[in-house]
Protein backbone atom coordinates (compact mmCIF):
# COMPACT_ATOMS: atom_id res chain seq x y z
CA UNK A 1 0.00 0.00 0.00
CA UNK A 2 1.38 3.38 -0.98
CA UNK A 3 1.91 5.95 1.75
CA UNK A 4 -0.82 8.52 2.39
CA UNK A 5 -0.06 11.96 0.95
CA UNK A 6 -1.20 15.14 2.69
CA UNK A 7 -1.13 18.52 0.94
CA UNK A 8 -0.53 21.39 3.37
CA UNK A 9 -1.80 24.48 1.57
CA UNK A 10 0.24 27.65 1.92
CA UNK A 11 -0.44 31.28 1.04
CA UNK A 12 1.15 34.58 2.08
CA UNK A 13 0.65 34.81 5.86
CA UNK A 14 0.34 31.09 6.60
CA UNK A 15 2.40 30.35 9.71
CA UNK A 16 1.34 26.94 11.07
CA UNK A 17 2.18 24.90 7.98
CA UNK A 18 5.41 23.31 9.23
CA UNK A 19 3.85 22.21 12.53
CA UNK A 20 0.88 20.74 10.68
CA UNK A 21 3.11 18.89 8.24
CA UNK A 22 5.12 17.51 11.17
CA UNK A 23 1.92 16.27 12.84
CA UNK A 24 0.91 14.35 9.72
CA UNK A 25 4.40 12.93 9.30
CA UNK A 26 4.29 11.70 12.90
CA UNK A 27 1.00 10.00 12.03
CA UNK A 28 2.63 8.20 9.09
CA UNK A 29 1.80 10.37 6.09
CA UNK A 30 4.01 12.10 3.54
CA UNK A 31 3.30 15.82 3.93
CA UNK A 32 4.03 18.38 1.22
CA UNK A 33 3.93 22.16 1.61
CA UNK A 34 2.18 23.47 -1.49
CA UNK A 35 1.60 27.13 -2.32
CA UNK A 36 -1.85 28.11 -3.60
CA UNK A 37 -0.26 29.40 -6.81
CA UNK A 38 1.17 25.96 -7.56
CA UNK A 39 -2.36 24.58 -7.65
CA UNK A 40 -3.69 27.48 -9.69
CA UNK A 41 -0.88 27.00 -12.25
CA UNK A 42 -1.43 23.21 -12.19
CA UNK A 43 2.13 22.59 -11.10
CA UNK A 44 0.56 20.50 -8.34
CA UNK A 45 -2.80 18.75 -8.48
CA UNK A 46 -5.18 17.87 -5.68
CA UNK A 47 -5.79 14.52 -7.32
CA UNK A 48 -2.30 13.41 -6.30
CA UNK A 49 -3.20 13.59 -2.59
CA UNK A 50 -5.66 11.97 -0.23
CA UNK A 51 -5.73 14.81 2.34
CA UNK A 52 -5.76 18.58 1.93
CA UNK A 53 -5.15 20.85 4.91
CA UNK A 54 -5.57 24.59 5.29
CA UNK A 55 -3.46 25.38 8.37
CA UNK A 56 -3.52 28.32 10.73
CA UNK A 57 -2.08 31.77 10.15
CA UNK A 58 -3.18 35.11 8.76
CA UNK A 59 -3.44 34.52 5.03
CA UNK A 60 -3.08 37.71 3.03
CA UNK A 61 -2.93 39.58 6.33
CA UNK A 62 -6.61 38.75 6.94
CA UNK A 63 -7.41 41.82 4.82
CA UNK A 64 -11.14 42.41 4.23
CA UNK A 65 -11.90 39.68 6.80
CA UNK A 66 -10.07 36.67 8.22
CA UNK A 67 -9.44 34.10 5.48
CA UNK A 68 -11.57 35.92 2.92
CA UNK A 69 -8.95 36.41 0.20
CA UNK A 70 -7.77 32.79 0.24
CA UNK A 71 -11.41 31.69 0.36
CA UNK A 72 -12.12 33.64 -2.82
CA UNK A 73 -9.12 32.06 -4.54
CA UNK A 74 -10.32 28.58 -3.63
CA UNK A 75 -13.90 29.28 -4.67
CA UNK A 76 -13.22 31.15 -7.91
CA UNK A 77 -9.99 29.56 -9.16
CA UNK A 78 -10.05 26.04 -7.72
CA UNK A 79 -13.71 25.43 -6.95
CA UNK A 80 -14.21 22.59 -9.43
CA UNK A 81 -10.97 20.91 -8.35
CA UNK A 82 -12.00 21.04 -4.69
CA UNK A 83 -15.47 19.60 -5.39
CA UNK A 84 -13.91 16.83 -7.49
CA UNK A 85 -11.47 16.09 -4.66
CA UNK A 86 -14.29 15.81 -2.11
CA UNK A 87 -16.48 13.69 -4.39
CA UNK A 88 -13.50 11.38 -4.94
CA UNK A 89 -13.34 10.63 -1.22
CA UNK A 90 -10.58 13.03 -0.21
CA UNK A 91 -10.32 14.50 3.27
CA UNK A 92 -10.13 18.23 4.02
CA UNK A 93 -9.02 19.71 7.33
CA UNK A 94 -9.15 23.41 8.20
CA UNK A 95 -7.44 24.68 11.34
CA UNK A 96 -8.16 28.18 12.71
CA UNK A 97 -7.59 30.35 9.62
CA UNK A 98 -8.45 27.21 7.67
CA UNK A 99 -11.87 27.11 9.37
CA UNK A 100 -12.48 30.71 8.31
CA UNK A 101 -11.39 29.91 4.76
CA UNK A 102 -13.55 26.80 4.36
CA UNK A 103 -16.66 28.60 5.61
CA UNK A 104 -16.11 31.74 3.55
CA UNK A 105 -15.36 29.68 0.44
CA UNK A 106 -18.70 27.89 0.86
CA UNK A 107 -17.03 24.49 1.33
CA UNK A 108 -18.56 24.24 4.81
CA UNK A 109 -21.15 23.55 6.08
CA UNK A 110 -21.81 21.75 2.76
CA UNK A 111 -19.90 22.26 -0.50
CA UNK A 112 -22.97 22.76 -2.68
CA UNK A 113 -25.87 23.86 -0.47
CA UNK A 114 -25.69 27.62 -1.07
CA UNK A 115 -25.09 28.55 2.58
CA UNK A 116 -22.26 30.93 1.78
CA UNK A 117 -23.98 33.93 3.38
CA UNK A 118 -25.74 32.07 6.21
CA UNK A 119 -22.71 31.06 8.28
CA UNK A 120 -19.51 32.92 9.04
CA UNK A 121 -16.85 33.63 11.64
CA UNK A 122 -16.36 37.10 13.02
CA UNK A 123 -14.54 39.07 15.73
CA UNK A 124 -14.34 37.67 19.26
CA UNK A 125 -16.82 39.11 21.74
CA UNK A 126 -13.88 40.08 23.94
CA UNK A 127 -12.64 42.43 21.25
CA UNK A 128 -9.14 41.04 21.53
CA UNK A 129 -6.87 38.26 20.34
CA UNK A 130 -7.49 35.17 22.50
CA UNK A 131 -4.49 32.94 23.14
CA UNK A 132 -4.96 30.25 25.80
CA UNK A 133 -6.00 26.62 26.29
CA UNK A 134 -9.60 25.39 26.12
CA UNK A 135 -11.53 22.25 26.95
CA UNK A 136 -13.50 20.67 24.12
CA UNK A 137 -16.31 18.13 24.08
CA UNK A 138 -16.69 15.87 21.03
CA UNK A 139 -20.11 14.90 19.68
CA UNK A 140 -19.88 11.11 19.56
CA UNK A 141 -22.79 10.95 17.13
CA UNK A 142 -20.96 13.04 14.55
CA UNK A 143 -19.86 11.26 11.35
CA UNK A 144 -16.59 13.21 11.46
CA UNK A 145 -13.71 10.97 10.38
CA UNK A 146 -11.12 13.03 12.24
CA UNK A 147 -12.62 12.69 15.74
CA UNK A 148 -13.47 8.98 15.86
CA UNK A 149 -12.74 7.54 19.29
CA UNK A 150 -12.19 10.94 20.91
CA UNK A 151 -14.39 12.04 23.82
CA UNK A 152 -12.79 15.33 24.81
CA UNK A 153 -9.66 17.36 24.16
CA UNK A 154 -7.59 20.13 25.69
CA UNK A 155 -6.10 22.34 22.98
CA UNK A 156 -4.81 25.90 22.57
CA UNK A 157 -6.63 28.64 20.69
CA UNK A 158 -5.04 31.69 19.08
CA UNK A 159 -7.40 33.90 17.11
CA UNK A 160 -9.15 37.26 16.96
CA UNK A 161 -12.02 36.24 14.65
CA UNK A 162 -13.26 32.89 15.89
CA UNK A 163 -16.88 33.62 16.73
CA UNK A 164 -19.23 31.35 14.78
CA UNK A 165 -22.50 33.05 13.87
CA UNK A 166 -25.31 31.63 11.77
CA UNK A 167 -28.79 32.49 10.64
CA UNK A 168 -31.37 30.68 12.80
CA UNK A 169 -32.60 28.36 10.06
CA UNK A 170 -29.16 26.86 9.46
CA UNK A 171 -28.24 26.12 13.08
CA UNK A 172 -30.29 22.91 13.40
CA UNK A 173 -28.68 21.59 10.20
CA UNK A 174 -25.09 22.17 11.27
CA UNK A 175 -23.01 19.08 11.98
CA UNK A 176 -21.35 20.38 15.14
CA UNK A 177 -18.36 18.20 16.03
CA UNK A 178 -16.70 20.20 18.82
CA UNK A 179 -18.03 22.52 21.50
CA UNK A 180 -16.13 24.65 23.98
CA UNK A 181 -16.64 23.48 27.57
CA UNK A 182 -15.39 23.94 31.10
CA UNK A 183 -13.38 21.35 33.06
CA UNK A 184 -16.59 19.53 34.00
CA UNK A 185 -17.72 19.25 30.38
CA UNK A 186 -20.41 21.93 30.50
CA UNK A 187 -20.89 22.97 26.86
CA UNK A 188 -22.91 26.02 27.87
CA UNK A 189 -20.08 27.59 29.84
CA UNK A 190 -19.35 31.18 28.87
CA UNK A 191 -16.16 33.18 28.58
CA UNK A 192 -13.27 32.35 28.94
CA UNK A 193 -14.21 28.69 28.35
CA UNK A 194 -15.86 29.84 25.14
CA UNK A 195 -13.08 32.23 24.05
CA UNK A 196 -14.94 34.01 21.27
CA UNK A 197 -18.68 33.93 21.95
CA UNK A 198 -19.54 31.36 19.27
CA UNK A 199 -23.22 30.52 19.10
CA UNK A 200 -23.96 27.25 20.94
CA UNK A 201 -20.28 27.13 21.98
CA UNK A 202 -19.34 25.80 18.53
CA UNK A 203 -15.61 25.11 18.14
CA UNK A 204 -15.65 22.83 15.09
CA UNK A 205 -17.98 21.53 12.38
CA UNK A 206 -17.92 19.04 9.54
CA UNK A 207 -19.95 18.40 6.42
CA UNK A 208 -22.51 15.58 6.35
CA UNK A 209 -19.97 13.08 5.00
CA UNK A 210 -17.63 13.70 7.94
CA UNK A 211 -14.70 14.07 5.55
CA UNK A 212 -14.51 17.88 5.58
CA UNK A 213 -13.72 19.14 9.07
CA UNK A 214 -12.70 22.49 10.50
CA UNK A 215 -11.96 23.72 14.01
CA UNK A 216 -10.69 26.91 15.62
CA UNK A 217 -8.36 25.31 18.24
CA UNK A 218 -4.92 24.07 17.15
CA UNK A 219 -4.48 20.27 17.37
CA UNK A 220 -1.03 20.51 15.75
CA UNK A 221 0.19 22.36 18.84
CA UNK A 222 -0.60 19.43 21.12
CA UNK A 223 0.59 16.24 19.47
CA UNK A 224 3.10 15.37 22.18
CA UNK A 225 2.34 14.94 25.86
CA UNK A 226 5.13 17.36 26.74
CA UNK A 227 3.29 20.18 24.94
CA UNK A 228 0.61 20.23 27.64
CA UNK A 229 1.10 23.34 29.81
CA UNK A 230 1.14 21.17 32.96
CA UNK A 231 3.03 18.20 31.58
CA UNK A 232 5.52 18.12 34.46
CA UNK A 233 2.68 17.78 37.00
CA UNK A 234 0.75 15.06 35.23
CA UNK A 235 1.50 11.41 34.40
CA UNK A 236 3.59 11.21 31.26
CA UNK A 237 1.76 10.72 27.99
CA UNK A 238 3.55 10.11 24.71
CA UNK A 239 0.89 11.77 22.58
CA UNK A 240 -1.05 14.97 23.10
CA UNK A 241 -4.79 15.34 22.67
CA UNK A 242 -4.52 16.65 19.13
CA UNK A 243 -2.51 13.75 17.72
CA UNK A 244 -5.42 11.39 17.14
CA UNK A 245 -7.03 13.86 14.75
CA UNK A 246 -4.09 13.38 12.40
CA UNK A 247 -3.81 9.64 13.07
CA UNK A 248 -7.51 9.17 12.30
CA UNK A 249 -7.16 11.04 9.01
CA UNK A 250 -4.20 8.96 7.89
CA UNK A 251 -5.89 5.70 8.87
CA UNK A 252 -8.99 6.63 6.91
CA UNK A 253 -6.99 7.74 3.87
CA UNK A 254 -5.10 4.45 3.78
CA UNK A 255 -8.34 2.85 2.62
CA UNK A 256 -8.78 5.12 -0.38
The b-or-e profile of 111-124 (16+ CB within 10 A means b, else e) is: beeebeebbbbbbb
Q: Give Cβ neighbours of residue 232 (< 8 Å, ≥ 6 apart).
A: none
What pLDDT score does 22 carry? 98
Residue of 122, 121, 250, 145 lying closest to 207 (CA atoms): 145
Judging by DSSP bridges, how do beta strands 152-159 and 163-166 pair with one another? unpaired
What pLDDT score does 256 carry? 73
* Structural domains of the chain, count: 1
For the segment 208-244, what is each residue's pLDDT rounded down to a tens digit? 999 999 999 999 999 999 999 989 887 778 999 999 9
Report whether pLDDT(108) > 60.
yes
What pLDDT score does 113 carry? 62
**Residue 14 lies in domain:** 5-253
Give the angle 255-7-30 at the CA atoms, nearest 5°: 65
For the segment 162-214, what is each residue's pLDDT rounded down to a tens digit? 999 999 888 999 999 999 999 999 999 999 999 999 999 999 999 999 999 99
pTM score: 0.96
- Report the distance separating Cα 66 and Cα 57, nearest Å: 10
Report whether pLDDT(1) > 60.
no
What pLDDT score does 237 carry? 86
For the segment 140-161, what is each residue's pLDDT rounded down to a tens digit? 999 999 999 999 999 999 999 9
CATH at 27: 3.40.50.880
By annotation, the residues acting in catalysis are 96, 218, 220
Amino acid sequence: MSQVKALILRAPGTNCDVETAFAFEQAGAVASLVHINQLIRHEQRLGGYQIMVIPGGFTYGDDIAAGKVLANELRLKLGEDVIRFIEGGGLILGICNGFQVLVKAGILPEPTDGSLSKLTLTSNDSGKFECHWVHLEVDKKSPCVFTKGIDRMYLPVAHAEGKVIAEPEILPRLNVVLRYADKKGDTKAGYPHNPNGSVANIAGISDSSGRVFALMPHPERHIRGSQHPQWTRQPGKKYGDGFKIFANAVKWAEGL
